[in-house]
Chains A and B, each alone.
Chain A
Amino acid sequence: MESWRPRSEKWLLLAPALLILSAITLWPLAQTLWLSFTDAEITAVKQPIHWIGFDNYVYALTDPDFQDALSRTLYFTIVSVGLETVIGVAVALLLNLEFKGRTFARMLIVLPWALPNIVNAMMWRLIYHPEYGALNALLVQTGILSDYRSWLGEPGLALHMVIFADVWKNFPLIAFVALAALQTIPRELFEAARVEGAGAWHQFKAIVLSAIIGPVLVIVILRTVEAFRVFDIIYVMTRGGPADSTKTASFFVYQEYFSYLRAGSGASYAAIVAAISAVLIAIYLGAVRRQAKAAA
């Protein structure tokens, strides 16, 4: 497209937007980054801050506990978002069918997503309670389990119970976006495909998948970044236990900053988490772009 304005004028028009954007996003980011190269601490009295180069990063990246936390967070993210996507799309396909009470079912499915994170976490904490929780009562009364279990007290189990609570809350978002996309598909398209002799799988791939993949990918990106910085559900349900088995990277940042009062070091942990999030976003954006190209 031919530009009708001189170059400088274009920048002038953009300037206010760029200024606001840099003030609200770049400035805090730059400050955190600067902090991560210092030995700043949280104190009530003013203390000199020293530039210490990459010390914080070296300390963070050589800490085996933090390495564990990073891979744990990655696991949480992949399993959580993966399950949410599969369940979300499956539910959307179901809700797209004609059946009695469909509106009610659609309304019902939005409930988990409408709950605040903290409320969801507290609710599941109660459900999982070893003595009074609904889950133990249900499984024992139906004979599936012979004995009460300590759902959040066993290392291998606790993380998966947290993942389950997180999936339950977040799959509706993906379901809704997928459902909205499904409803844009004209019925005639399926008929035309059938007439041309396409099988069910082929129809699904050519029509359904191509219609929902774009919007769903956008939500998956959003959820991935959210899942990677998971904090509130962990804080309420397990506080990182048992034996650190649910301690995520964000919980580390929080502890470094507010429990150990090391602002500089905490900022370096935060920067590492942000950098990994950025890589994840880049991967997805690449996928979206490929998707758009394929569709064109």
Chain B
Amino acid sequence: MHFKILAATALASLVGLSAPAFADTQLNALFMSQAAYSEADVKAMTADFEKANPGVKVNVEFVPYEALHDKIVAAAGAGDRGYDVILYDVIWPAEFVKKGFLKDVTDKVPAADHDKIFDGAWTTVTYDSKVYGMPWILDTKYLYYNKDILAKAGISAPPKTWAELESQAEQIKAKGLVKYPIVWSWQQAEALICDFTTLTSAYGGSFLKDGKPAFQTGGAVEAVKYMRETLDKGVTNPSSREYLEEDVRKVFSNGEAAFALNWTYMYALANDPKQSKVAGQVGIEPAPGVDGISKASAVNGSMGLGIASNSAHPDEAWKYVTFLSSKDVQDKYAKLSLPIWKASYTEPAVTQGQEYLVKAADVSLGLMFLRPAVPYYTELSNILQKNIHAALLGEDTPQAALDAAAARAARLR
């Protein structure tokens, strides 16, 4: 019985192993299917790479962001038939490096590149001062607003502080221009933590202090209080509590919201008349700040491309990674995701038609607040998601919810 299975597996792996000798090198790459670069863009970049590198074929696969982490982990546990190139979030390097999922490429990165790329982008792929890939998506959340609605409400300038955002939203609601002026991605998911982080940074809060939870005091509590207050006042769309980024985009593009917090990619899509009723009326600003504490706020939502440590073709994989993150490629596809290269921001190809986005990015990219780089981040985040959600649903006060999260986080091992 066992022998037969072994023989069959051996045969299968022989067939599999002998294939590259006859055919081209095959790379498997894993991407995500929402926000930042579109599937079509990634496929087009990949086609260009294949043209420039005959003999290398790349199979690209897309999964929703929510499934990305677990897909990477499952493939890493499965041995060397998994992915060669993986897209990973800024919150995962600590965990992935500790578990040995990513290849150390510190020596492969040209020293000259270090100063040409934004620091915030480098933190995405760096852990313990070693580099585990190339930054690819440089992203943060921006405040989007509907110019028409603001004009109709008699508001002359978009809000600079969160308090101002709230009062403008109240004004818009009072005039009956939209039922719920603000829409967010507050489903019990990482998207909620990104909005929470943006607010926390505005209020000067923090996640951890000396490795211990610090979110139950100060700015983080203010952040959740603010979220709850906008719900209580009816200026936040209550369905935000089951929305992800794509829902936010659809509601905003449908003209049903005056304000929305979302990633870079929404700028081009909300301005696309084919899929948006508000094309041409979309304003973008850095996420607001808090009087006396901050001028603006931002979360580091960047992502990097790494090589799986069990890849059988690390050299070809690195070629692919450097191609995708090269300045030329990034400049060409800058509509949904802004380049990681500082020099790109003066290129007409990048700035043309998105002057306002680039202007907002100029402020936001320098402020990007990091979620804690700890190996147990996923679990910490899940604890926060659950408890913040409870506060947003009115089951708990913000203070009690964060206290409960801190107590639960103390059980982490």
Contacts and interface: CB of A to CB of B under 8 A. Distances in A.
Interface string B206-242: 0000000000000000000000000000000011011
A53 B386 CA distance: 30
A261 interface: yes
Contacts of A88: none
Size range of the interface on B?
35 or more
Interface in A1-59: 19-20, 23, 41-45, 59
Contacts of B1: 19-20, 23
Interface of A is mostly: loop
A260 interface: yes
Contacts of B100: 43-45
Given A242-B389, A243-B395, A259 B239 contact: no
Contacts, number: 99
B309 interface: yes
A290 to B, nearest CB: 39
Contacts of A154: 393
Interface in A133-176: 148, 150, 152-155
Contacts of B309: 44-45
B379 interface: yes
Contacts of A63: 411
Interface size class of A (residues with CB under 8 A): 20 to 34
A279 to B, nearest CB: 28
B393 A258 contact: no
Nearest to A237: B242
A42 B408 CA distance: 23
A241 B188 contact: yes
B393 to A, nearest CB: 5
Given A44-B99, A243-B188, A243-B386, A153 B242 contact: yes
Interface in A232-289: 238-244, 255, 258-261
Interface of B: 1-2, 66, 69-70, 73-74, 76-77, 95, 99-101, 187-189, 238-239, 241-242, 247, 250-251, 254, 256, 308-310, 376, 378-379, 382, 385-387, 389-390, 393, 395, 408, 411, 413
Interface of A: 19-20, 23, 41-45, 59, 63, 65, 130-132, 148, 150, 152-155, 238-244, 255, 258-261
Given A44-B76, A44-B310, A150-B239, 12 more contacts: A42-B76, A44-B101, A44-B309, A131-B254, A148-B239, A153-B242, A153-B393, A239-B187, A242-B242, A242-B393, A243-B386, A243-B393
